[in-house]
């Protein structure tokens, strides 16, 4: 069965660097506005949500922003095979990865991924705390 999504809340955000759709993004703390995101780049870090569309560097220069799922069920690209019920965090490029001790919990898989690059559905957990 292909992954599916059903968002409860999505937010429009500015983008400080290119992002890839279906990957976790975080707030860019270097941006003073509090409204800017960038793709997650550290395994296990806290994320703001999942990017619905890719945004290239050229598109940023034209003013394109990002739509970010922050609550509900999102399609996320997986870093490895993920089973239903797996608690997930981010890897170093924003893909869903199985959480380990000390990682931020970003959600729970409810439709599995067969391997790296495959899609899974994740029930997002805003402020999920650490594993």
| 10 touches 69 (CB < 8 A) | yes
Q: Output the average pLDDT for the chain.
A: 93
Angle at CA 37, nearest 5°, toward 31 and 38?
105
Q: Which domains, and CATH codes, for the chain? A: 6-124 (2.40.300)
For residue 76, give Cα distances in angstroms to 32, 55, 83, 84.
Answer: 28, 16, 13, 13
Distance of alpha carbon 107 from alpha carbon 59, whole angstroms: 29
3-class secondary-structure state, position 77? strand
Residue by residue, pLDDT tens for the chain (131 residues) are 567 788 788 899 999 999 999 999 999 999 888 899 999 999 999 999 999 999 999 999 999 999 999 999 999 999 999 999 999 999 999 999 999 999 999 999 999 999 999 999 999 987 678 87
């Amino acid at each position: 069965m292909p992954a599916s999504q059903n968002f409860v809340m999505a937010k429009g955000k500015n983008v400080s660097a290119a992002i890839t759709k279906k990957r976790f993004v975080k707030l860019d703390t270097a941006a003073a506005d509090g409204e800017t995101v960038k793709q997650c780049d550290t395994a296990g870090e806290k994320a703001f949500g999942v990017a619905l569309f890719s945004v290239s560097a050229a598109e940023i220069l034209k003013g394109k922003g990002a739509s970010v799922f922050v609550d509900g069920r999102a399609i996320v690209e997986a870093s490895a095979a993920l089973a239903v019920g797996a608690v997930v965090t981010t890897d170093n490029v924003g893909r869903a990865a199985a959480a380990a001790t000390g990682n931020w919990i970003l959600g729970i898989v409810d439709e599995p991924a067969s391997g790296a690059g495959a899609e899974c559905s994740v029930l997002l957990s805003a402020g999920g705390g650490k594993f």
